[in-house]
Amino acid sequence: MNELFLFVRPPRPLWPFNSPASAFWPPLAFASMAAMLRQHHQNLRVEILDAPALTMGWRTLEAEIRRRQPAFVGIGEEAVSCVEGLRLARLAKACGATVIAGGCFFGNVAPEALQTGLIDFVVHGEGEVTLVELVARLRERASEALPNVNGISFLRESEVVTTPPRPLVEDLDSLPLPAYDLLPVDRYGAGSRNHQRLAAIELGRGCFGACDFCVLWRQMGRWAGNKLLPRLRVKSPERLLEEVRVLVRRYDRRYLGWVDPCFNADPEVPGQLAELLLRENLHVGQSAWARADALVRDAHSGALRSCVQSGLNEMYLGIERPDSLSVAALHKTSGVEHARAALKILREQFPEVLTVGSFIYGLPGDTVATVRAIHRLTFELELDQFFFIPLTPLPGTPGWRPELWDPSGERFRQFNFLPTGRPHGRYAALERALLLSLLLNWPAARWRAWSRQLFAPNSRKQRVHRRLALRAVSFHLRRLLGMFAGDDPTGGLVFPTWYEN
């Protein structure tokens, strides 16, 4: 029988603000690389095992991997699931598989990950072409040719070899359609009220921005000599229309989560796609991360109207900070004034769109007054929801230092984009002030914001708001208790009952 390449997403805890019914999105990276492997390796079997989507815990996963006997196992994790990534690698190696890791976490900790002895190859940056080449060399048993495969790291006699970076795929339309048929498509968003029959889709890759804290522009950046530069690539509207058609008509998907770091970075394609969708009468709910400055631009061009008419109804904006100076210090070029303008447009012209803002705290020099100012800004901006994210030293960003590596992976549980809840340490005073402000600071603007949200005329928006608000209250109360009770090993994540099953 032909060899098997098995992509595996192992069991993991849930982010506490997500509903269990829509906390797991289709792993698009795996589907995209699987399609590419199938196209280029006709005599290779390719499968994806998405354990969380199947509510499959570790015991069943282990049995399943033993049963399938893969020659290669592909893994790719967020930092927060490093524990699970390494556990999976150990399991795969015990079954005799070659373990290949990639994505925005492993790609930035290659030497450390390889030294664990659990991972054989790390793929850096964009995966499709590199993986096809790497698998070809491995199947030919041509180990002397491995240094010619660009974009990988591996160990040779305990030395880490890192090959030159892989150039980006110039034309994203040239990629095959993601292998949705290898995913348990029906499971995503099943039972979800607000994101029913969810699918993940990408308009493009990378970003034109180069914000300090962000790993996303780097993951899909362009190397010019030793320098990594931001690079935005987008698919054509026609190709995207085809993807939406397949998802909606063949796979009966009803909600699309755009996975782009910045959906509206390109001034043309989102609007052009929306026009095509409207012309075909394809109305489908959509959520996206967007930049506020680009949103204002698209409101003027009319592109935003088309996007909303075609179904865009949740917009996530990285507003980050309460003042222009500290936004600029992060090298973010979309500022607070853009956020004010963007939210005014959404409120007045597109009240059906749910708006969620995210904010960063923990920059050098941040004080209790800074976090209070951030909280105040959330209701001045009349956001529907907001998240406060501690500045996180993600591998690949300037905050990362190799001494933060933890071979057990446990330390990365704290890379969860949640308030740490620690009674002591760098963020403790800021988080206490934030919690107190959340609980006690109720000026008129906040009451107005709440009553507007609770009685919003749009029932979907009202529903999403209520659920998010309930989860937020429960999370912050638990965090408050935690501050007195001591360290919480789960880091605030929610372990599902099936985790070990």
Place of tokens 């029988």: 1
Residues within window 82-101 making contact with ligand B12, judged by CB under 6 A: 100-101
Percent helix, percent strand, percent coil in the chain, to nearest 5: 45, 15, 40
Beta strands at 198-201 and 159-162: parallel, antiparallel or unpaired: unpaired
Question: Which among ligand SF4, ligand B12, none contacts residue 262 (Cβ within 5 to 8 A by kind)?
Answer: ligand SF4
> In angstroms, rounded to a whole number, what is the distance separating the alpha carbons of residues 429 and 442?
20
Binding marks (x or -) toward ligand B12, 261..290, rule CB under 6 A? x-----------------------------
Tell me the residue type at 275. Answer: E
Q: Which of 379, 417, 427, 499 binds ligand B12 (CB under 6 A)?
A: 417
Does 123 participate in binding ligand B12 (rule CB under 6 A)? yes
Stretch that binds ligand B12, among 24-32, 308-316, 402-410, 436-444 (CB under 6 A): 24-32
Identified binder of ligand B12 from the candidate list 25, 180, 217, 427, rule CB under 6 A = 25
Instruction: Determine the size of the site formed for ligand B12 (CB under 6 A).
Output: 40
Decide: is 151 part of the binding site for ligand B12 (CB under 6 A). no
Q: Which is nearer to ligand SF4, 82 or 207 (CB)?
A: 207
CB of 167 to ligand B12, least distance (A): 13
Verify binding: residue 197, ligand B12, rule CB under 6 A.
no
Handedness of CA 125, 490, 191, 469 (dihedral sign): negative
* Shortest Å distance, C-beta 418 to ligand B12: 8
Figure out which of the listed residues 34, 65, 79, 179 binds ligand B12, where binding follows CB under 6 A.
79
DSSP secondary structure string for all residues of 314-371:
EEEEEEE-SSHHHHHHTT--S-HHHHHHHHHHHHHH-TTSEEEEEEEE--TT--HHHH
Which residues lie near ligand SF4 (CB under 6 A)? 207, 209-211, 214, 216-217, 261-262, 291, 318, 332
How many C-beta atoms lie closer than 10 Å to residue 217's C-beta? 23
* Cβ 117 vs Cβ 99: under 8 Å: no
SS3 state at 182: helix
How far is the C-alpha of 468 from the C-alpha of 453, rounded, in Å?
11
Q: Given the structure tokens 């893994």, which residue do they identify?
A: 75
Are 245 and 282 in contact by the 8 Å Cβ rule? The answer is yes
Comparing CA positions, the residue from 40, 61, 52 lying closest to residue 11 is: 52
Range in contact with ligand B12 (rule: CB under 6 A) among 74-82, 85-93, 361-369, 466-474: 74-82
Task: Give yes or no for residue 200 binding ligand B12 (CB under 6 A).
Answer: yes
* 215: contact with ligand B12 by CB under 6 A: yes
Dist. CA 368–CA 371, nearest whole Å: 5
Closest CA to 481 of 427, 426, 425, 439: 439
Residue among 219 and 453 whose Cβ is closer to ligand SF4: 219
Residue 357 interacts with, from ligand SF4, ligand B12, none (CB under 5-8 Å by kind): none
Tell me if 11 sits within 8 A of 52, measured CB to CB. yes
Helix (H, G, I), strand (E, B) or coil at 425: coil
Nearer of residues 360 and 433 to ligand SF4, judged by Cβ: 360
Residue 332: contacted member of ligand B12, ligand SF4, none (CB under 5 to 8 Å, by partner type)? ligand SF4
Check residue 15 for interaction with ligand B12 (CB under 6 A): yes
Residues 384-413 that bind ligand B12 (CB under 6 A): 394
Furthest-apart CA pair in the chain: how many Å? 69
Among 24, 180, 217, 427, binds ligand B12 (CB under 6 A): 24
List the single partner that 461 binds among ligand SF4, ligand B12, none, CB under 5 to 8 Å by kind: none
Place of tokens 């590199």: 130
The least CB distance from residue 338 to ligand SF4, in Å, is 11
**Residue 399: Cβ within 10 Å count:** 14
**Site membership for ligand B12, residue 32 (CB under 6 A):** yes
Binder of residue 18, out of ligand B12, ligand SF4, none (CB less than 5 to 8 A by kind): ligand B12
Residue nearest to ligand B12 (CB): 102
Binding at 74: pick from ligand SF4, ligand B12, none (beta carbon under 5-8 Å per type): ligand B12
Nearer to ligand B12, 322 or 390 (CB): 390
Choose between 284 and 327: whose C-beta lies nearer to ligand SF4. 327
Of 119-127, 272-280, 338-346, 422-430, the segment contacting ligand B12 by CB under 6 A is 119-127
The smaller minimum CB distance to ligand B12, of residues 299 and 355, is found at 355
Q: Pick the closer one to ligand SF4 by CB: 172 or 207.
A: 207
Buried b (16+ CB within 10 A) or exposed e, 330-367: bebebbbebbbebbebbbeebeebbbbbbbbbbbeebe
CA 501 to CA 489: how far, in whole Å?
Answer: 20
SS3 90: helix
Query: Using CB distances below 5 to 8 A depending on partner kind, what does residue 12 bind out of ligand B12, ligand SF4, none?
Result: ligand B12
Neighbours of 242 (CB within 10 A): 15
Q: Which residues bind ligand B12 (CB under 6 A)?
A: 12-15, 18, 23-25, 28-29, 32-33, 74-76, 78-80, 100-105, 123, 126-128, 131, 200, 202, 215-216, 219, 259, 261, 394, 415-417
